[in-house]
Amino acid sequence: MKQISKSFIKLTEKDKRILIKLFVVKILIFTLLLLVRPPTMIVDAQMYYDLTVNPAETFKPPGTDITKYTRIKPPGWALFLYVFYSFYQNWLFWAVFFNFIFSFLAVYLLYKITNEKIMWLFFFYPFFLYHSYFPLETPIFCLLIILSFYYFRKNKFIANFICNISSFFRIEGVLFSLYLLCKKIELKNLILFMVISSAALYFYGIAWVLLYQYLISTKPMLLYQSLRHIIPFLIPLFVDYKEFFTKHFRKIMILWFVLGLTIGYFKVFYEWGVLS
């Protein structure tokens, strides 16, 4: 606690204000979303739960009974939660609890490497906002990507290592790792990429292609699924083109609001059976 207090004291007055403001807004939205739609064990969450209570399954090739409905088997989120689930067997609690923390840290860290406007753009992107309170892997994956960009100027090996580890949470991590590697190619980082990416692809294999076909076949949900998968790809755009996004902050926030009111509700209507 003393170290946390010292770290907080070291922050600038602006950083402290941002942290407090961010925390208050996050608590308010978290409470609202809990009231509107409490987290539930949707299909993907059920898969992660099954892998958490059967951790040995994560080390087998895809296609087991556990993943027969989702066609993928990402090990990272399930194995991470397994450590805490062993102490207190309430999977949904741990998933939502850590997603609150990870999403909070992700947007604050993005502020540290860009600016406050970029932070709020990412925070209020409707699909990140929605998934920040879901028991899925999106927040921790985004945190790892942002953390890798944070360390890129300080220590490129650590940055590449963190980015490669994200591949075990979502397969897109391989693309981000390749992007980071190409920004500054070094032999040790190339070897790191080849080893970790190969291991990550072993868990997914050709199953990722099958998942893509599954999403394409679910036509009413296609647009929502596409915008949901954009979430992590906003990060390098925000970092590398922060001047552009800062300049057009208000316009983009309006766009986020429109997307939230239209495409966001589109998913709700689908789940209610209105569009099926």
Please determine, for residue 109, whether its predicted confidence score (pLDDT) is greater than 90. Answer: yes
| Burial zone of 276 (CB within 10 Å; 0-12 exposed, 13-18 middle, 19+ buried) | exposed
As a 3-state breakdown, the chain gives helix, strand, coil percent values, each rounded to 5, of 80, 0, 20
Specify whether the CB–CB gap between 139 and 39 falls below 8 A. no
Please determine, for residue 220, whether its predicted confidence score (pLDDT) is greater than 80. Answer: no
For range 167-181, the mean pLDDT: 86
Specify whether the CB–CB gap between 106 and 143 falls below 8 A. yes
Q: What is the pLDDT of residue 7?
A: 46
137-162 pLDDT, tens digit per residue, is 889 999 999 999 999 888 889 999 99
Element spanning 113, H or E: helix 91-113
pTM for the structure as a whole: 0.83
For range 124-137, the mean pLDDT: 85
CA dist 138 and 144 (Å) reads: 10
**pLDDT band for position 259 (cuts 50, 70, 90):** confident
Mean pLDDT over each residue of the chain, to the nearest integer:
79
Element spanning 217, H or E: helix 207-217
Instruction: For residue 42, give the 3-state DSSP assignment.
Output: coil
CA dist 79 and 150 (Å) reads: 25
**Higher pLDDT residue, 206 or 168?**
168
Q: What share of the chain in percent tops pLDDT 90?
A: 31
Specify whether the CB–CB gap between 71 and 207 falls below 8 A. yes
CA dist 202 and 48 (Å) reads: 18
Pick from 81-95, 142-156, 214-228, 251-265: least confident: 214-228
**pLDDT band for position 66 (cuts 50, 70, 90):** low
| Burial zone of 9 (CB within 10 Å; 0-12 exposed, 13-18 middle, 19+ buried) | exposed
Measured CA distances, 7 to 11, 30, 69, 104, 124 (Å): 7, 26, 45, 17, 27
226-228-234 Cα angle (round to 5) = 100
Most confident region among 61-65, 120-124, 215-219 by mean pLDDT? 120-124
Q: What is the pLDDT of residue 111?
A: 95
Pick from 12-16, 57-61, 257-261: least confident: 57-61
**Higher pLDDT residue, 201 or 22?**
22
The pair of structure tokens assigned to 232 is 């992590």
The pair of structure tokens assigned to 107 is 């947007």
Q: At what angle do helices 91-113 and 116-123 cross, to 10 degrees?
A: 150
Q: What is the pLDDT of residue 14?
A: 87
For range 210-227, the mean pLDDT: 49
CA dist 53 and 55 (Å) reads: 6
**pLDDT band for position 209 (cuts 50, 70, 90):** very low
**pLDDT band for position 37 (cuts 50, 70, 90):** confident
Q: What is the pLDDT of residue 44?
A: 78
Rg (CA), the chain: 19
